[in-house]
Structure 1
Amino acid sequence: MLGLSPLIGEVPEPQGPEASSWRKARRFAGRALSSMIALSASIEGAAAQSVVNLPVIGQTTISTHGALQFAIFAGVMGAAFLCALGVIKLRARSLAEMSVLKGRVAELSSALSRSEALLNLRDQRIVVWPTGGDTPSVVGDLPAESGAPLERNAFLAFGRWLSAKSAAALERSLQALLDRGQSFDLVAETQSGTLLEVQGRRSALHSVLRFASYTSLQEEHARLKLELDQLRASHETLMRLLDQLDTPLWLRDQSGRLAWVNRAYAQAVEASEPSVAIQEGRELLPAASRDGLGQSGAVTQQSVSTVVRGERKVYEVTSVADGAGSAGIASDTSELEALRKEYESMVRSHADTLDKLTTAVATFDAEQKLKFYNQAFQQLWGLDTRFLDSQPENAILLDRLRSEGKLAEQPEWRRWKDQVLSVYRAVEPQEFWWHLPDGRTIRVIANPQPRGGITWVFENLTEKISLESRYNAIVKVQSETLDNLAEGVAVFGSDGRLRLSNPAFRRLWGIPDKFLEGDIHISLLKTACDPLANPSPWGDFVAAATGFDDERRDSHGQTELTNGTVLQWAIIYLPNGQTMLTFVDVTDSVQVERALKEKNEALEKADKLKNDFVQHVSYELRSPLTNIIGFTELLSLETTGPLTPRQREYVEHISSSSSILLTVVNDILDLATVDAGIMELDVREVPVAATVQAAVSLVEKRFAEHDISVEVDVSRAPSHFFADEHRVKQILYNLLSNAANYAPEGGRVTVSAWDSGDGVVFRVHDNGPGMAPEVLRTIFKRFESSNSGRRRGAGLGLAIVKSFVELHGGTVEIETGEGRGTAVICRFPFAPNGVRAAAE
């Protein structure tokens, strides 16, 4: 049984794919052999326990134990034989498979050799990164003229041998390949100018970067592709730049529709985005302007006016059109147009201003031709305007002035003229003095212009020179005048030193002449003059002459010297930083002023007494008269008792006289109240028509006594205005009473009122004889009465009218004349602004 193990163990174990099948067969044979050995052992044990006598066969006797052993041996040998046959077949199969594998390995080795040969070609180089590995493998080689380094690390430093732009693009694409497996194809340019094709690919196990050189055709194609990429990048950059410009730009297709616009265009047409402007076809320019910009193959420029965001804009539009479409740009020239108009207006204004100057001005261009002249230039030289308008050259103009005898003869005329015209080559202004044959002296200034040419300024200094001579004479006269003035004058410079003084100054302050010799400082004068006045003003004088105040204001004052002289002083600041002190002896005026003040105080006391009289006596005067009038009316009543005709006549005389006396007293008190300034108006709404009628009713009896008709016209008057109704009635009553006094028997009095636009006007007219001029001059004076009326009054009626009207802020006028009667016109404002004193 144990002899089978060496047989099984001698069978060689196959390699490769058949190894697993071989191991399974070997495990099966081992398990079968072990089972057979165990079965044999169990049978042998059973046989030892029982002995069975088997029959004898041919003289041979076989026991039961022997038979079992023989059977077991035969079974074991059969199983071993079968296992050996399986192992032999399996080995033969393994040998065949090994032969096939050896052929496959040979083919793969050949393929690997071919691949390495292909990878090591001189026109390409490959860099391989294993998955999860950091160190790449580099195989192959590139031509030497490409400039690619052979050493591995130097080759992988792309920025050292590729152009900066190509190296940056390769680094970005390679990082995307390694991180995300993103393939790419690039055209890289070396620093020597050679173009290389660069490909990046990703497999399951590797990342591959391949550099390949081009053939001449491929290189040209690659170079064109590189230029195309550059052009595309430049185009994108340019489009981004155009999109950021503040100037509207647009592109149109063949049909004339918008294909692209920038943001400035979208903002101009009030679109949220450029795409919205394109989709909605919003046009910036009017249709008529667009039609003129669509000619193929033409470049057009025109100025177009349109409305943008509610404002009128002027655009300078440039358009280029061809068969593929058109492009346009609109430059906002609104500000330029406004500046151009402002410049033209300024030039016209400048010309108008120069034309009004008394100084002669003429402008010549770079070609020495006359371009502008003012009227003073034409009047200075007396030239014909047609000649000047023909734009003569400067040299011709000088020759003409010489020929007409308007320029002084020069010993060398040509040399003198060349010297004058040399200013056209000068940079700085030049100045000349011309003495003309007619005795005038001209100061000539030649001012070069920035764009070439000269502006000539001719200043006639004849009068100035004459004025200077007269000025010098006047200075001498003024010096003599100052010396003989009674007013003291002293002038101090900005440094506080005395520049000028007259004898009156020295006399008023008692300063010796020797003390003022030289430019003495004002502080020394203060020391000398302080004891002479109390209080002394010299501290203020020193501060004014030596101070540094930003705002220098003149001041004045008065001081009294210890000798009783009163001086009125003034500090006057002169324009050149100097300070002038003036002193006037006003001793007599001060004494008169003091006397007047004393008299004024006495008058004020008298006025106060008058006011007190008005306030206290008013009641004392009116009360007795009121009692007299009241008792007179009581006596005239029938209920009091009968009166004889004579008594009734006396009572009527007493009543009328008392009324007249009360009226006079009231008028005097009213005027006194006005003069005292204590009268107050009771301003309220005054009905015009009712007030006029009420005033007329008060004098109807007097009109009826003399058969005088009264006409009232208030149709043009307002319904009311604001005033003191009682005073208005009193004014109208006085005017009507005055008219009743001067109107003839059977005459006519007209009362009218109307709206003047800013107030109310009342007019009372009588057809009497009118007033004489001497009466008209004193008509408003108090206690001035005329003897021409029926009744002689106190002469206060019109004075009260004038005072009350002016107290309302109005005016009084009188229209009179022989044969025209007399009309008194009173103008009232609609509402008085305040109370003001009435004129006496």
Structure 2
Amino acid sequence: MKTHLSRTSAKRQGAPRLIRRLLAGTVLLTASDAAAQAAGPARSIFGTPEVVTFSVLIGVISAAMISAIWLIRQRGNIEAENRDLRSSLSDANQHISRFQALIADKNRRIVIWDGLADRAEFLGHLPVETGAPQDDRDFLAFGRWVKPHSAGQLEKAIEALRAQAQSFDLVLETQRNEVLEAQGRVSGGRAFVRFIALNNLRAELAELKLERDQLHASLSTFRTLLDAVDLPAWQRAGDGRLEWVNAAYAKAVETPSASLAVAEERELLATAARDRIRAVATLQTPFRDKVSTVVRGNRTFFDVVDARTPAGSAGIAIDVSGIEAVREELARTLKSHAETLEHLATPVAIFDGNQRLQFYNQAFQRLWDLDMGFLERKPDNGEMFDRLRDGGKLPEQLNWKQWKANALSVYQALDTQTDLWHLPNGQTLRVFATARPQGGATWVFENLTEKVDLETRYNTLVQVQGETIDHLAEGVAVFGPDGRIRLSNPAFRAIWGINETEAQPGTHIRAIEQACLASYDQQDGWKRFAHIITSFDDERPSSRGILELRTGLILDYAVIPLPNAQTMLTFVNITDSVRVERALTEKNEALRKADALKNDFVHHVSYELRSPLTNIIGFADLLKTPVFGELNERQAEYVDHIATSSSLLLTIVNDILDLATVDAGIVELELAEVNLIDLIDDVTQQMGDRLVESGVSLRTDAPDNLGRITADQQRLKQIFIKLLTNAANFAPDGSTIELKCWREGSDFAFSVTDTGPGIPQDVLNTVFNRFESYGQRGGAGLGLSIVESFVSLHHGNVSIRSKEGEGTEVTCRIPSAQAPKVIAAE
């Protein structure tokens, strides 16, 4: 085709050459004409200009005719050549189509670069399932449809192909996991890269090659990684021999290199441990356990993981010696903390990362009163909240789910959450919920019930105290250690005649002293107050005293140190009480003198009356004797009345004298051992005639084993006689008086019962008062008073039980006294 084109170009170049020849001939002709004209101008009929013009015209016409003839001939030749060219072009297109049909396979695509030009020519296409773009511009963006590692290799290979003519063969992976083969070649100054979609055996072979390369790369990567870590690792063959170890393994078995450790078959684990690994490890379940061995002379604990495969096994050992030490220390610490928390009065509960209860102390169980079985099965935190809510132990919420979610959000919180729970039972809890670093949360419940109650009571007390101080009749002022007043009540200001401005808080005691001088003469008093308040003594004594003001007021003051280094002054207006006290003192002195005079009078009169009465009784008895003659009936009756009245009067005088000696405190008991049976017999014999005169009888109920008691026999006898005489006075005629005696340990008890009219309840509380009598035969009212006095002298007690219409019972209990010690004379 190139030869045919060269011939056509030669023919096209022949026409200009012919024209140039014709123009050259015309020029020669014109030159010859000019020479002829120069040789013979006289002989020419035309002039020179005409000849030149004619010659040029002849030349132009000749050239035009020649050119027209040549063009006609040339046109025919060109048409013939065009027919030949169209035939040759048709043949070339047929060849190109045939070649393109051979190249443009659907399973391959060729990219051609002419030298270093950026523009590329594309031939063929790849299958759609490979993910390769059909557009030429998108095809060269390999990173979009080829996996990154394959795209990087391909771009580097193409760059080397175009720049250095380095051929290559690569296997590529597309984003759709399809496999392509890329072949790079250089031919005729052009770079060709052919992409071939592999199938069947070639695809499998390429995939296997790719997988092999990946496996080798991965194996190399992992071995490099294992060599870099400080964890012994190994690989064994099917028979258990070492095939490969890392640098940490070689260091652990003290060999210079890993290859030497494999060659010498240095074992890190003991034989028993290796046998155990072989016995336990299976293809499905690797060996995982803690193994101890000796490394560089030290006992070391490893967490060993050994995985078994059909071709052998591989394992790695993690040094957990430090972790074991920390774990043991942590276990001891947790045990100590648990013991400490167990003895705390503050309820504590710990939940793990799954929000299940792991620990609680007894205070927690007592606070919520939860069943031990429920707690021991480690319930969920939310389940525990629901249990407490069902039991009515948690505060009722408007939105329970929201409240519960907020409470459980502590497991995702970074800071401690604090809340106040007001329980239905009246308790107030401050709840601290803290997320644990290892997962879970710790709940601490601080019972603030007592604190809140105390604060409430304290605030109320402060308010009450403030109101109380303001309304006290006593003047109160509190000073700080700097001598400045902190508070004062209106009574303080009224007592000292100062206003509120002069005693406002912050005023110094010196200023208050000056304000009080108008109503106070004794200046040393306030100076003493100032010294006590502002002194730096370690011990601040209290002080009390009495002040008299110019206004006539009499104040009882007290200086009282307070715990917070403050001092309180109190002033009580005791003017009226002092006056009353003085009056009472004077009156008491007068009464004391009157009482002394009364006692003297009683003693004097008693003794003075006793002598005449004794004489009257004696002379009455003499009149009854026959020595002085016989008395008639009326005279004898009068003498009996005289004797009876005199005896009664003597008894009253003796009773008054006994009570006077008791009141004077001069009565001394003559203690001795008393045989109770003999005492009772003596009393019953002495009272026999008197009871017969009164028309009543006596029934005695006393056991024979009453024994003895240390007491004053004469006073005991008086007690019996007074009680029996009193009962005889009120017992109806023909009735019986009962005397009952018994022992209560070392005490002697007895009672006298009559069936008289009884004592009214309004009189019962006054029967032991002196000169209190009731009934028609009540007497002087001294009997029961003397009984109570003598029983009290014996450190005993007396009681009376009576009901109107049913009689009266008087019970006495006399304890046994200590017998007096007789000291022999030296």
- State TM-score, norm by structure 2: 0.50
Matches within 5 A, 1:657-806: 657-715=645-703, 718-788=706-776, 791-806=777-792
TM-aligned CA distance change 1:738 to 1:444, over 3 Å = same
Which of 623, 628, 638 is matched with 1:650 structurally?
638
Q: Which residue of 2 aligns with 1:31?
A: none
* 1:821 pairs with one of 783, 798, 807: 807
Q: CA deviation at 1:666?
A: 1.1
- Give me the whole-angstrom Cα distance separating, in 2, the residues matched to 1:727 and 1:706: 24
Q: Is the 8 A contact 1:402 1:409 kept in 2?
A: no
SS at match of 1:496: coil
Task: Provide the C-alpha distance between the structure 2 equivalents of 1:408 and 1:633, rounded to a whole number of angstroms.
Answer: 111
Q: Which residue of 2 aligns with 1:615?
A: 603
Query: SS of the counterpart of 1:798?
Result: helix
Q: Equivalent residue of 2:703, what SS?
A: strand
What is residue 458 of structure 1 aligned with on the other side?
445
Which segments of 5 or more consecutive residues in structure 1 lack a partner in the other structure?
1-342, 424-429, 835-840
Conserved? CA contact 2:419–2:431, under 8 Å: yes
Deviation at 1:375, TM superposition (A): 6.7
Matched, 1:488 2:475: yes
Structure 2 segments unaligned to the other structure (5+ residues): 1-334, 391-395, 821-826
Question: How much does 1:569 deviate?
Answer: 2.2
TM value normalised by structure 1: 0.49
Deviations 1:13-57 (A, max 9, x none): xxxxxxxxxxxxxxxxxxxxxxxxxxxxxxxxxxxxxxxxxxxxx
Greater C-alpha radius of gyration: 2
Partner of residue 831, structure 1: 817
Q: Letter of the aligned partner of 2:735 in structure 1?
A: G
* SS of match in other structure, 1:639: helix
Task: Write out per-residue CA displacement over residues 305-332 of structure 1, whole angstroms, 9 at most, x where no aligned residue.
Answer: xxxxxxxxxxxxxxxxxxxxxxxxxxxx
Shift of 1:549: 5.8
Q: Does 1:500 align with 2:487?
A: yes
Is 1:600 matched up with 2:588? Answer: yes
Given that residues 370 and 394 in structure 1 are in contact (C-alpha distance below 8 angstroms), is that contact kept between their aligned partners in structure 2?
A: no
Please say if residues 411 and 439 of structure 2, whose CA atoms lie closer than 8 Å, have aligned partners that are also in contact: no
For residue 522 of structure 1, the aligned residue among 509, 514, 519 is 509
Kindly tell me: are residues 433 and 533 of structure 1, through their superposed partners in 2, closer, same or farther at Cα, counting changes over 3 Å?
Answer: farther
2:410 aligned partner:
417
- Structure 1: how far apart are the matches of 2:403 and 2:558? 57
Q: Describe how 1:329-728 pairs up with structure 2 within 5 A.
A: 354=345, 360-363=347-350, 369-373=357-361, 387-392=374-379, 409=402, 416-420=409-413, 432-433=418-419, 443-445=430-432, 456-459=443-446, 479=466, 482-517=469-504, 519-526=506-513, 529=516, 532-534=520-522, 536-547=524-535, 555-715=543-703, 718-728=706-716
Contact 1:696 1:736 in 2 (8 A): no
Question: How far is 1:798 from its partner?
Answer: 1.3
Percent of residue pairs bearing the same amino acid type: 49
CA RMSD of aligned residues (A): 4.5
> AA paired with 2:591?
L
**What amino acid is aligned across from residue 712 of structure 2 in structure 1?**
D
- 1:320-331 matched pairs, under 5 angstroms: none
Letter in 2 for 1:488: G
Aligned-pair CA distance for 1:657: 0.7
Superposition deviation, residue 475 in structure 1: 5.4
Q: Please show how residues 142-157 of structure 1 align to structure 2 within 5 Å.
A: none
For 2:800, the aligned partner's letter is I
Question: Contact 1:673–1:679 (CA<8 Å) still a contact in 2?
Answer: yes
Report the AA paired with residue 479 of structure 2: F
CA deviation after TM superposition for structure 1 residue 371, in Å: 1.9
1:810 to 785, 796, 807: 796
Could you tell me how far 1:783 is from its partner in structure 2?
2.0
**Partner Cα separation in structure 2 for residue 500 and residue 813 of structure 1:** 56
* Deviation digits for residues 266-305 of structure 1 (CA, Å, limit 9, x no counterpart): xxxxxxxxxxxxxxxxxxxxxxxxxxxxxxxxxxxxxxxx
- Distance (Å, rounded) in 1 between the aligned partners of 2:469 and 2:409: 50
Contact 2:694–2:733, Cα closer than 8 Å, also in 1: yes
Q: Quick check: 2:502–2:512 contact (8 Å CA) kept in 1?
A: no
**Alpha-carbon separation, structure 1, partners of 2:456 and 2:770:** 62
Cα distance, 1:515 vs. partner?
A: 3.5
Q: What is the deviation of 1:378?
A: 7.7
Q: Residues of 2 paired with 1:751 and 1:541: CA distance?
A: 70
d(CA) in 1 for partners of 2:361 and 2:629?
109
What letter corresponds to residue 692 of structure 1 in structure 2?
A: I
In structure 2, how many angstroms separate the alpha carbons of the residues matched to 1:377 and 1:398? Answer: 14
**Mapping for residues 168-317 of structure 1, pairs under 5 Å:** none
- Residues 549 and 701 (structure 1), Cα distance of their counterparts in 2 relative to 1, 3 Å cut: farther
Corresponding position of 2:81? none
In 2: Cα distance, 1:361 partner to 1:686 partner: 71
Query: CA 1:749–1:499 in 2, change beyond 3 Å: closer, same or farther?
Result: same
Alignment CA distance shift 1:808-1:440 (3 Å): closer
Correspondence for 2:310 = none
CA distance in 2, matches of 1:444, 1:600: 68
Q: Which residue of 1 aligns with 2:112?
A: none
**CA offsets per residue over residues 85-120 of structure 1, 9 Å max, x none?**
xxxxxxxxxxxxxxxxxxxxxxxxxxxxxxxxxxxx
Task: Tell me the equivalent position of 1:56.
Answer: none
Moved more, 553-562 or 492-501: 553-562
Tell whether the 8 Å contact from 1:688 to 1:718 is kept in structure 2 after alignment.
yes
Q: CA deviation at 1:694?
A: 1.6
Work out the CA distance in 2 between the residues paired with 1:637 and 1:437. 100
Task: Return the offset for 1:739.
Answer: 2.0
Q: Does the C-alpha gap of structure 1 residues 642 and 383 become closer, same or farther in structure 2, counting only changes over 3 Å?
A: closer
Q: Distance in 2 between matches of 1:678 and 1:656?
A: 31
Letter matched to residue 651 of structure 1: V
CA–CA separation in structure 1 for the residues paired with 2:763 and 2:404 = 84
1:711, 1:750 within 8 Å by CA — same for their partners in 2? yes
Change in Cα spacing, 1:480 to 1:708, as seen in structure 2 (3 Å) is: closer
Sort the Cα spacing of 1:593 and 1:765 in 2 relative to 1 into closer, same or farther, 3 A. Answer: same
CA distance in structure 1 between the partners assigned to 2:673 and 2:407 by the alignment: 93
CA distance in 1, matches of 2:456, 2:428: 14
1:360 deviates by: 4.8
In structure 2, the residue corresponding to 1:715 is in which secondary structure?
coil
State the shift of 1:641 in Å. 2.5
